[in-house]
Amino acid sequence: MIPTITAFERSPDRGRGQARDMRVRWALEEVGQPYDVRLVSFREMKEPAHRALQPFGQIPTYEEGDLTLFESGAIILHIAERHAGLLPDDAKARARAIAWMFAAVSTLEPPIVDREIARYLERDESWYEQRLSSVEDRIRGRLGELSARLGDADWLDGAFSAGDLLMVMVLRRLNGSGLLEEYPSLAAYVSRGEARPAFRRAFDAQLAVFTAASPG
Ligand code: GTB
């Protein structure tokens, strides 16, 4: 059964692959699962029909027969559990890969999102510079710890897994901030993820949506 995911009709990231459908597309490409995409406008995302799929009125969603899922991490776990290629067969290694998925979205991503909130919503506040600096220091702390754990390895725990997929996607949110470049092994880690053919296919597919919506 071919699943359908939702994505922005016109992504505010202008096709840079930062919206969360990108991580789901990448997972589907890694496992070789074809998929359909339903594009939704900001208005449609807040209507009852979409909220029935995603209670918070967001993308992405995932529909497969009578199963509907939201939350990109849960969607990727579902895909990874049903196809070979994103989780190890060994039960303990599999549990560790899932732990890295959670680490990406619950330990690394929150301060990175806080930085985006500060830059986009709090820039005019008197305390903006102080806030930005404190959030960036928290990010540096996490990046230092992650870099120490990664060491010279290509991936976080053996072969590439859904944990790496989510971690690379979360770290990519720092593109343009200069923070990732302070940790060369993490910058190289992200580049390794982005060089995977499945990443390229997913990236090109989401970019094509933006290009089609913004001709010329
Ligand atoms: N925890 C949920 C998940 O992982 O699925 C979060 C989903 C989410 O934040 N979706 C965002 C959304 O639908 C799009 S990805 N936002 C609309 C809304 O809440 O009204 C977040 C995102 C959006 C834009 C950029 N950008 O422009 O760079 C980056 C990331």
Residues 6+ apart with CB under 8 A from 22: 169, 202, 203, 206
Q: In CATH terms, are 4-85+198-213 and 91-196 the same topology?
A: no
From the CA of 16, give the closest atom in ligand 1: 28
* Statement: residue 215 has pLDDT above 80: no
Structure confidence by residue, pLDDT tens digits, 5-51: 999 999 999 999 999 999 999 999 999 999 999 999 999 999 999 99
Verify whether ligand 1 is closer than 6 Å to residue 196 (CB atom): no
CA distance 123 to 5: 34
Write the DSSP string, 151-209. TT-SSSSSS--HHHHHHHHHHHTTTTTSSGGGSHHHHHHHHHHHTSHHHHHHHHHHHHH
Q: Torsions phi, psi of 101, nearest 5?
A: -60, -45
Residue whose structure tokens are 């060369």: 184
CA distance 187 to 7: 27
Structure confidence by residue, pLDDT tens digits, 145-195: 999 999 999 999 999 999 999 999 999 999 999 999 999 999 999 999 999
Tell me what the mean pLDDT of segment 123-147 comes to: 98
Q: Among 20, 105, 106, 121, which residue has the most ligand 1 atoms within 8 Å of its CB, making it the best to mutate?
A: 20
Each domain of the chain, given as residue ranges in start order, spans 4-85+198-213, 91-196
* Statement: residue 113 has pLDDT above 70: yes
Verify whether ligand 1 is closer than 6 Å to residue 116 (CB atom): no
72 Cα: distance to centroid of ligand 1 (angstroms): 10
CA distance 214 to 133: 35
Verify whether ligand 1 is closer than 6 Å to residue 6 (CB atom): no
Q: Torsions phi, psi of 39, nearest 5?
A: -85, 140
Structure confidence by residue, pLDDT tens digits, 201-212: 999 999 999 999
12 Cα: distance to centroid of ligand 1 (angstroms): 10
Tell me what the mean pLDDT of segment 103-125 comes to: 98
Angle (nearest 5°) at CA 132 between 130 and 133 = 65
Verify whether ligand 1 is closer than 6 Å to residue 175 (CB atom): no
Query: How many Å is the maximal CA-CA distance in the chain?
Result: 53
The highest-level CATH class for domain 91-196 is mainly alpha
CA distance 32 to 83: 9
Residue 97 gets the label, from left (phi > 0), alpha (psi -120 to 50) or beta, of alpha
Q: Among 10, 23, 59, 170, which residue has the most ligand 1 atoms within 8 Å of its CB, making it the best to mutate?
A: 59
Evaluate whether the domain defined by 4-85+198-213 bears CATH number 3.40.30.10: yes
pTM passes above 0.85: yes
* Statement: residue 216 has pLDDT above 80: no
Tell me what the mean pLDDT of segment 89-100 comes to: 98
Structure confidence by residue, pLDDT tens digits, 97-107: 999 999 999 99
**Banded pLDDT at 214 (limits 50, 70, 90):** confident
Verify whether ligand 1 is closer than 6 Å to residue 72 (CB atom): yes
106 Cα: distance to centroid of ligand 1 (angstroms): 15
Tell me what the mean pLDDT of segment 124-139 comes to: 98
